[in-house]
Amino acid sequence: MRRAVANLPGNRTLAGFDHSVSSVPTHVINALGTLEWIRRAENLVVCGPPGTGKSFLAEALASEGIEAGMRVSWFNSESLAQTIATAKATDTLSSTLAKFRRLDLVIIDDLGILPIGENDSEALYRVVETCYETTSLIVTSNFGLASFDEILNPRSIAAALVDRLAHHAHLIETTGESIRLSQALSGKGVMPL
């Protein structure tokens, strides 16, 4: 039931995480897998090029949290903005934000992949501000924190968002070539015909 409510995009787990292709050290992944950082309401920001395992790691940690009985919810920036816009339109913003505070972990995946307008930036800020020091966030992005002012509008929102997001955060930067692309080029992305 918790898994269905979380709205995870797939069924990725830490057991299925391939440490041999990840630029994130195994000891870091193992430490994150203890979930102690979630119990302390700390955040995780994972930035790096496309295909370097950011979303896989986020979903695997979310799965661990669900298995541990935690309340988890998955969003991309578009679905998060839609949730906040609907709450504003139906005059339920306060109760919607209160639901975020009752979660243990909120994942915002692929921040900056699609253009983020002013309303979307405001929605993202509202959630980050609401979760600050009460609910853990995982944010994945192809952009580093220092570049968030390039993807969020206005820039004043970016500064305030980064300030709150990074304050109690573990920062990970993935590197390397796309794992998906290298698997595709080596014929490992599909079953042989």
Is residue 54 included in any domain, yes or no? no
For 91-104, b where at least 16 C-beta lie within 10 A, e where not — what string?
A: eebeebbeebeebb
Is 114 inside a domain boundary? yes
Helix (H, G, I), strand (E, B) or coil at 11: coil
- CB count within 10 Å of CB 58 equals 24
Paired residues of 45 in beta bridges: 139, 171
Task: Report how far residue 24's alpha carbon sits from residue 46's, in angstroms, rounded to the nearest whole number.
Answer: 10
At 97, which CATH number?
3.40.50.300
- Domain presence at residue 78: yes
Tell me the residue range of the domain where 105 lies: 43-48+60-178
What's the Rg (C-alpha) of the chain?
17
Structural domain contains residue 183: no
Residue 186 domain flag: no
Other CB atoms within 10 A of residue 71 CB:
16
> Quick check: is 108 in a domain?
yes
What pLDDT, on a 0 to 100 scale, did the predictor assign at position 97? 97
Tens-digit pLDDT profile for residues 136-163: 999 999 999 999 999 998 888 999 999 9
Within a domain: 37: no
User: What distance lies between CA 83 and its chain's CA centroid?
Assistant: 16
53 lies in some domain: no
Q: Tally the domains of the chain.
A: 1
Spatial CA neighbour of 59 closest among 126, 115, 105: 105
Please give the Cα distance from 105 to 71 (Å, whole number).
Answer: 7
pLDDT of residue 7: 94
> How does pLDDT run across 91-114, given as a tens digit for each residue?
999 999 999 999 999 999 999 998
